[in-house]
Chain A
Amino acid sequence: MPAEQELLKIIGLKKYFGGLKAVDNVDLSVKRGETMGLIGPNGAGKTTFFNMVCGAYTPTAGKILLNGEEIQGLPAHAVARKGIARTFQITRVFKDMTVEDNLLAAFALRRAPGLWASLGRSHTKRNREEAMTYLERVDIAAFAKQKAGDLSLGYMRRLEIARALALEPILLMLDEPCAGLSKDATVDFMELVGKLKSLGTTIMLVEHNMGVATALCDRMTVLSYGVKIAEGTPQEVQSNPVVIDAYLGEAEEAG
């Protein structure tokens, strides 16, 4: 694989919480335009891994390269400025603000970086029209004037994705985007991600649900107890006995 195709390259990433090895020596790379799934049973270290890439956690060791530039250990806002946008497992929309304002808040990074520029007017016709195009892309334009906190969970997820897309990121990171969604909302959501994929968005997806991950991902990395146990296309991963063991083990424990 030629190096220039690799948008994100992660080498030997570790996160220890005291004696607990939440993520241990994981390598991973994401190519431009692909959807990479990060899957594994509960407690496998997926979210810890995700949070290190987004800057929420500082890794104990290892490198995270975005376009060849080291970004490990940067604070979350700096990671966002490097072009990584994320959503949260438990949605974090700005509840007391309107849907439109939630979206406009994501434009500041491009339109008004810095404190002095922040004194400028944000609600210009141009910005509001552009905000509507993002809301239309996720089919929530009709709720533009509503309080974001009044939306249903599925629509909050959409708003969060629209907000992330409005950053015009080079990498979109989704943390269990289907958790808590109804079956219909999950199907809608998978359609939306399919649409984003067809537009060439590079996506990293953390997913617990094997079915959702198989349908959306070009490649998958499987974690179990903080260690990478498999990597490959969904077909390869699904037929890998080590992966089946890890998931079956979980089913047995749960049963």
Chain B
Amino acid sequence: MYEQVVAINVGLAMLLAMSLNIITGFAGQPTLGHAAFYGIGAYTSALLTAKAGWPFFLALPAAGAMAALVGVLLGLFSVRVREDFLAVTTIGINFVVVAIFQYVQLFGASLGLAVPKPEFLGVRFGNTEILGLLILLNALVYLFMRHLPNSWLGLALGGVRNDEEAAASLGYNADHYKVFAFTIGTFIAGMTGSVYAHFMGFISSTDFAFPVSIGVLSMAVLGGLGSVTGPLIGALILTLAPEVFRFVSDYRMLVYGGLLVLMMRFQPQGLVGDDSYLQRLWTKIRGRREEGKANAG
């Protein structure tokens, strides 16, 4: 069913945007190669199920773990480089990972990999089951994101994002928290890759190329980096837009690139980020409504 497929794409995009938001939005570490981890998860899950005969429900967390392992390495590296160099480094990682998928026989090289449909308790996973799983994963990650601003981790990442030296003066080892953010964010991206692989039934290296990373970043930026709901809204808009408007589908990269430029210039906090036009409007409406209530009472 067409609607189901679109909903699945929205669900995948939301998970990716939220996971990027942990690293770039909350911890303030710019990454431009998030699709690499999405791909590592997808290929890990594909190999484990197709070649090693693992059941999908073991391959799913394993895909997350493998992506997180590489994420930790990148995190350890990020500790040593300044933010602008980190951004460039992550682009490089994206290209290297895609090249490995493309040229190494184990990963099917240019032919790609066929991925078996998951089975659970005798039920073969169709799109309905995949969608159900995505809703569950989105709900879990969203609950985590809602918790984050009210958690010690959220405060620690806020400290690291704002001023590492000041965070250190409060006893935070900034390096640990950066690596931790990379671990969580890349773990979620890896799991998302696993779901993608089993939904598609076939993966190839271009599915995880640099433009995919830019797409995910555009979603997070459009909605609002560092806001809890922003990336969800960004993912929804940018996944639906090509379905609704033909021209967006034809000029996808132009739209992503243009949006990044416009958002950075006019609304860097995103559509629903702190003190954005929409958020101010919402506060105003709510204020008026409460005023109305007070007057009525």
Contact = CB atoms under 8 A, between A and B. Distances in A.
B50 interface: no
Contact of B169 (A76, A96, A112): A76
A115 B153 CA distance: 8
A80 interface: yes
A103 to B, nearest CB: 10
A105 B274 contact: no
Contacts, number: 96
Interface string B164-192: 01111111111011001000000000000
Given A77-B174, A92-B166, A105 B150 contact: no
A111 B152 contact: yes
A206 interface: no
A120 B152 contact: yes
Interface in A89-142: 92-97, 101, 104-106, 108-109, 111-113, 115, 117-123
Nearest to B144: A119
Given A92-B165, A92-B166, A97-B162, A77 B152 contact: no
Contacts of A97: 155, 158, 162
A88 B172 contact: no
Interface residues of A, number: 37
B150 A108 contact: no
Interface residues of B, number: 28
A119 B151 contact: yes
Given A76-B168, A167-B170, A118 B162 contact: no
A167 B171 contact: yes
A54 B169 contact: yes
Given A76-B165, A94-B166, A105-B155, A123 B171 contact: no
B60 interface: no
Interface of B: 147, 150-156, 158-159, 161-163, 165-174, 176-177, 180, 226, 274
